[in-house]
Structure 1
Amino acid sequence: MHSRKVPADIVCALGLTQIIGYGTLYYSFSILAPGIANDLRLSLTQVFGVFSVSLFIGGLSATCIGKQMDRVGAATVMTVGSALAGLTLALCAWSPSIAIFAIAIILLEVSSGMVQYQAAFAALVEHDPKSASRSITYLTLIGGFASTIFWPISATLLHVLSWREIFLVFAALNLILCMPLHFWIRSLGKKAGEASIRPRETVIGAIPTHARRRAMVIVSFAFALLGFTLAAILAHMVPMLGSIGLGTAAVVIGSLFGPAQVASRLINIVFGKNLSPPALAVVSAVLIVFGILILLASGDWLPGAVAFAICLGLGSGINSIAQGSLPLYLFGSDGYGAITGKMAAARLALGAGAPFAFSAAMESIGLSMSLAANALLGAISIAAFVTVAVSCRQPATVKA
């Protein structure tokens, strides 16, 4: 696919909403969790257990959300999602009991699926399928700063506000900033549709029609396995590095993940123009598996741990791009929302249990065997991505 000019205004607007969306609805939770546990008289494990259940239910809702994006438009879903996110953050802040809090967190994760990458990618595909792959790359570059910005913001706010007050501040950000921006993008789409006198261009996928179902299953399986591998490691990265003898250096090493994730997207913008989405998916999986194997082989050797964190970050960054660009390349722009919704449902539902499963594995079979098993899952995802890449008869094309 040859790309045309990227719509910078829409990408920048979505970039801001992705930073706020991921920062307020996902990354801040680990910082606020101890305060939530103390206030609601729960253990930290119970709080994260509620969060894991909400991630699972939110993942299951992705299929329905994807279908709605195709029916009414991704920007419309994102506008409603921002309103729901603001309201449920306010409900979290008010919740007097664990039952109300659990309901609020579940609704919060449903709203996350309506405003985060899955929906943003679909909005870019709707706006211009031909430039969508490049737009997705630029968007993930901007969105990659969410953890870098919101971890310190959340920690700083805790010095002057309670977790409930912080949730109210986050609710305001979603309602006052994100919802108007999503509504503006929606209005642009409506104006473009009314003004257009030519047939809309669409992207025709590289997978033949008769092979789409099989390819869909394989790609969903590959992304789900790789998502499980990544989620399991990320949830335990800092304490895991500390447990193998790296001590206080574990925090510094863990902090390399974020910059490496952003760097991979920047490298792809500069050098990855000729790299196809199937190749990107394979590279992302290889980097993640290679990083785990480096840690497995190097143990408490500091350079090895640094290489592990960098490889993991590079692989994760490229994987985010592949989640948006590979379905477009393989299956085309028609029905993109429903396709990515099904993939997200599989990935998020499986990934929700990854932190618990990896923790249980470390207790029962030890860290080394757990890392080896995780690397094996990643290797299976590499084989699945390669299988799909080989089955592509021709590159994706654009049709008016």
Structure 2
Amino acid sequence: MRWWSGLDRVVVLLCITEVVSWGSLYYSLPAAVGAISADTGWTVVTITACFSAGLIVSAAVGILAGRFLDRWGPRVVMTAGSVLAVLGLVLLATAATVPAFLAAWLLIGVAQAAVLYQPAFTVIARHYGAGRDKPMLILTLAGGLASTIFVPITLALLTVLDWRATYLVLAGILAAITIPLHVLLPTTRDTPPTPRPNRAERGPVVRSRRFVLLAGGITAITFSSYAVTLNLLPLITERGYSAAVAALAFALVGVGQVAGRIGLTVLTRTVPAHYRPLAVGAFVALTLALFGVVPGPVWAIAVVSVLAGAARGALTLMQATAVPARWGTARLGALNGEFSAPITAATAVAPVAGVALGVGFASYPMAAAVFAGIALAGAGCAFLADRRASWPAEGSAGQSQRARIVD
């Protein structure tokens, strides 16, 4: 019963809802895009652009969602997000025109801001304080199963239903699981307020040099990682390998993410905090450079794919802990929203940027090398952000005290 008592139940609830939310609101489209295009005549580019527009909306709305999370707690915000997500999927299933399809994804983008990783990370960090590392790891490991579970589910549904009915079924699954489980989340009251900032700290955190450099650095790293790993199919087929080999490489990226998240948890015990973004960013840059210079054989491409996945997995977990580790848990929702907005937007445009650079250079491996340089520059920015910076003491009001829970 311990895992269902007190704060521990929050991890259980969020693990389940993150898998279902990511699976239905994000990973379902790559599985269904072919069926949608075949039925409607819309191009894959048009369909994917609508999806990316939703992600950009999610980035913008995430700032507001974070503030609401600080004010009302996860029960209200994440339940409302689930309701909007169900409505968005229903509208998606009934969209007869491209503008209607786009409108549905924009609404889903609003919902994503309230139910995906950003609010979940905020909840975990606030509840667990200094003990957040293990719950964060568990949550991201569970979230990593979303594609493994929901891509086959979506494909199986498409074998017996058309894409519209498939999305109606996914809407039903989302409603049946995430709405009642989000209602079971606690409401929260923030930890005691931190002291009023002195003159040296008067400027808002989000406009501080440290915040801007760190957010910009991690955004550059994330942008580069996604631009390359989401374009592995043309990169690997350009080297003369089959689509099956490219698909295997893409799958191995997902496998590597699990190892990366576990590895970062170990890294936090041995590497000083201000070196971690540099280490992870340099690792990302190295793996992207390897995609640019390793032509084969297949086993070598497989190894690089696993390493790239590990780098991406570590990056996700590093982003999750970046704000509470440096600025504590006071106003964490708002700060996380501001911090995550450019990162989420970068993930939306990265696949298109990867294609544009690959076509522009007439070489996807060359593009991978360029993105490696961008990732390395981002790692340098993140390192400069933490140089000579002060860190909140563990156990301070803004850092590790758990929020008081009111069920």
Deviation at 1:81, TM superposition (A): 0.3
The aligned counterpart of 2:400 is none
Tell me, yes or no, if structure 1 residue 179 matches structure 2 residue 185: no
**3-state SS of the aligned residue for 1:128?**
helix
The aligned counterpart of 1:353 is 349
Q: Output the CA distance in 1 between the equivalents of 2:264 and 2:366.
A: 33
Tell me, yes or no, if structure 1 residue 264 matches structure 2 residue 260: yes
**3-state SS of the aligned residue for 1:185?**
coil
The aligned counterpart of 1:388 is 385
Give deviations 1:131-153, integer Å, cap 9, x for gaps.
23332122111111111111212
Deviation at 1:288, TM superposition (A): 1.4
Deviation at 1:304, TM superposition (A): 3.1
The aligned counterpart of 2:58 is 58
The aligned counterpart of 2:49 is 49
Task: Say if 1:271 and 1:152 are closer, same or farther in 2 by CA, change over 3 A.
Answer: same
Deviation at 1:273, TM superposition (A): 3.8
**3-state SS of the aligned residue for 1:232?**
helix
**3-state SS of the aligned residue for 1:397?**
coil
Deviation at 1:272, TM superposition (A): 4.4
2:225 maps to which of 224, 230, 255: 230
The answer to whether the 8 Å contact 2:294/2:300 transfers is yes
The aligned counterpart of 2:283 is 287
Q: Output the CA distance in 2 between the equivalents of 1:233 and 1:375.
A: 9
Structure 2: gaps (5+ residues) = 398-407
Aligned-pair identity in percent equals 25
Residue type of the alignment partner of 1:116:
L
The aligned counterpart of 2:72 is 72
The answer to whether the 8 Å contact 1:136/1:321 transfers is yes
Give deviations 1:41-73, integer Å, cap 9, x for gaps.
211111112222222222222111111111211
Q: Output the CA distance in 2 between the equivalents of 1:71 and 1:18.
A: 22
Structure 1: gaps (5+ residues) = 194-198
| Range 272-281 or range 147-156, more displaced | 272-281
Task: Say if 1:349 and 1:95 are closer, same or farther in 2 by CA, change over 3 A.
Answer: same
Q: Output the CA distance in 2 between the equivalents of 1:128 and 1:253.
A: 36
The aligned counterpart of 2:334 is 338
Q: Output the CA distance in 2 between the equivalents of 1:381 and 1:185.
A: 36
2:211 maps to which of 210, 216, 233: 216
The aligned counterpart of 1:196 is none
**3-state SS of the aligned residue for 1:392?**
coil
Deviation at 1:333, TM superposition (A): 0.4
2:313 maps to which of 317, 340, 355: 317
| Range 175-184 or range 301-310, more displaced | 301-310
Task: Say if 1:276 and 1:107 are closer, same or farther in 2 by CA, change over 3 A.
Answer: farther
The aligned counterpart of 1:399 is 396
Tell me, yes or no, if structure 1 residue 306 matches structure 2 residue 302: yes
The aligned counterpart of 1:374 is 371
Give deviations 1:55-109, integer Å, cap 9, x for gaps.
2222222111111111211332111001110111111111222221110011111
Residue type of the alignment partner of 2:331:
G
| Range 298-307 or range 216-225, more displaced | 298-307
Q: Output the CA distance in 1 between the equivalents of 2:383 and 2:116.
A: 28
| Range 80-89 or range 165-174, more displaced | 165-174
Task: Say if 1:111 and 1:105 are closer, same or farther in 2 by CA, change over 3 A.
Answer: same
**3-state SS of the aligned residue for 2:395?**
strand
Residue type of the alignment partner of 2:230:
A
Deviation at 1:394, TM superposition (A): 4.2
User: TM-score normalized by structure 1?
Assistant: 0.89
The aligned counterpart of 1:38 is 38
Residue type of the alignment partner of 1:399:
S
- The number of residues matched between the two structures is 384
Tell me, yes or no, if structure 1 residue 156 matches structure 2 residue 151: no
Give deviations 1:15-46, integer Å, cap 9, x for gaps.
11111111111111111111112222211111
**3-state SS of the aligned residue for 2:185?**
helix
Q: Output the CA distance in 2 between the equivalents of 1:255 and 1:202.
A: 45
The answer to whether the 8 Å contact 1:40/1:98 transfers is no
Residue type of the alignment partner of 1:282:
L
Deviation at 1:393, TM superposition (A): 3.0
Give deviations 1:218-272, integer Å, cap 9, x for gaps.
1110121112112211321123212212223222222111111012223445664
The answer to whether the 8 Å contact 1:90/1:168 transfers is yes
Task: Say if 1:341 and 1:200 are closer, same or farther in 2 by CA, change over 3 A.
Answer: closer
| Range 260-269 or range 351-360, more displaced | 260-269
Q: Output the CA distance in 2 between the equivalents of 1:18 and 1:276.
A: 30
Q: Output the CA distance in 1 between the equivalents of 2:156 and 2:57.
A: 30
Task: Say if 1:24 and 1:151 are closer, same or farther in 2 by CA, change over 3 A.
Answer: same
**3-state SS of the aligned residue for 2:390?**
coil
Residue type of the alignment partner of 1:153:
I
The aligned counterpart of 2:111 is 111
The aligned counterpart of 2:403 is none
Residue type of the alignment partner of 1:221:
G
Q: Output the CA distance in 2 between the equivalents of 1:288 and 1:245.
A: 25
The answer to whether the 8 Å contact 1:285/1:381 transfers is yes
Task: Say if 1:168 and 1:383 are closer, same or farther in 2 by CA, change over 3 A.
Answer: same
Give deviations 1:194-228, integer Å, cap 9, x for gaps.
xxxxx947899xxx946841111111101211121
Q: Output the CA distance in 2 between the equivalents of 1:168 and 1:368.
A: 40
Residue type of the alignment partner of 2:235:
M
Q: Output the CA distance in 2 between the equivalents of 1:377 and 1:203.
A: 37
